[in-house]
Amino acid sequence: MIRFRLKELIAEKEFQESRRITLEEVAKATDVHRTTLSKVSNQKGYNTTTDVLDKLCEYFKVELGDLAEHIKEETEGGSNVE
C-alpha cells in the first residue's frame, strides 16, 4: 500500500514558516481540489494521479519519496504482502 505523508509535510511547513497552513491554501497554490487533498491526506489506500503528486512535490519542494512511501500490508495469516 502507498501511504501519503501530506499531513506530515503540512506540519513541517507550518513549523518552518511559523504559521497555520490549511488544505484550502494548499489547494489554491497547487490547483488541486481540496476534496482530493483531503482524500490523499485521510483515506487509507487512496488512488491519485501523477499530476496531483507532481503538483504536491512542487509545492512542498520535495521528491516523490518524501511525499509517499510504500508500506507492506499484512495478510490474515500475519505474513507481509509485497
**How many domains, in total, are found in the chain?**
1
* Residue 81 located in a structural domain: no
Q: What is the pLDDT of residue 73?
A: 79
CATH code of the domain covering residue 20: 1.10.260.40
Spell out the alpha helix ranges (H) of the chain: 6-17, 23-30, 34-42, 50-60, 64-67
pLDDT tens column, 16-55: 999 999 999 999 999 999 999 999 999 988 999 999 999 9
* Residue 77 located in a structural domain: no
In the Cβ-directed half-sphere of 11, how many Cα atoms lie within 13 Å?
6
* Residue 78 located in a structural domain: no
